[in-house]
Amino acid sequence: MTSDPPLTGEPRDHEADPDADPEQVARTILLDQLTGRARSRSELADKLRAKAVPEDVATRLLDRFEEVGLVDDEAFARSWVTSRQPGKKLARRALATELRRKGVDDDVAQLALDEIDPHDEEQAARELVRKKLRGLQGVEPTTATRRLVGALARKGYPAGLAYTVVREELAGADELLDHLPD
């Protein structure tokens, strides 16, 4: 009788079994890792290394998973960018850093980043500033500017764009306040 593997992160029987076939162990690790979300080849290689899978077995299986399309750094990078840019309002620079941490080659990452429309990036910055502006009512304009530019900088926006967006959004907020009835 076999039981389902534990859900608590405890090692599975095959991971604790020194006689287990390394290729089968590696295949199971890869499939487990790919179940929750797509991962880069580098992330998967790191996981196999951490589980002491022999390098030749890891390379062979990763190559095979690439051949059949289960591991695709280009698709991973595109998916990462399309989900993180609008959702987290991240700029290209922040996304490039994240992809680099995930082990995606800079050229592959650049292809995905090139798909971001500069207008969409600017709109995301504006939405972020508008959201943050609500919590800054009554704050001195210099302080508000510093805080808003800092928020954009943490999201990877270049200084020129950050200052332009903040200046324009603050001016728009002032105009709106000037037209409200007393």
Write the pLDDT tens digit of every residue in 132-167: 988 888 888 899 999 999 999 999 999 999 999 999
- Domain coordinates of the chain in residue numbers? 13-67, 73-113, 118-178
Give the Cα separation of 28 and 16 in Å (integer).
13
Write the pLDDT tens digit of every residue in 57-70: 999 999 999 999 99
Domain boundaries 13-67, corresponding CATH code: 1.10.10
Q: How many angstroms from the chain centroid is the CA of residue 35?
A: 17
| Contacts of residue 3, Cβ cutoff 8 Å, sequence gap at least 6 | none
Q: Is 182 exposed, middle or buried (0-12, 13-18, 19+ CB in 10 A)?
A: exposed
- Residue 58 has which token pair? 């890891």
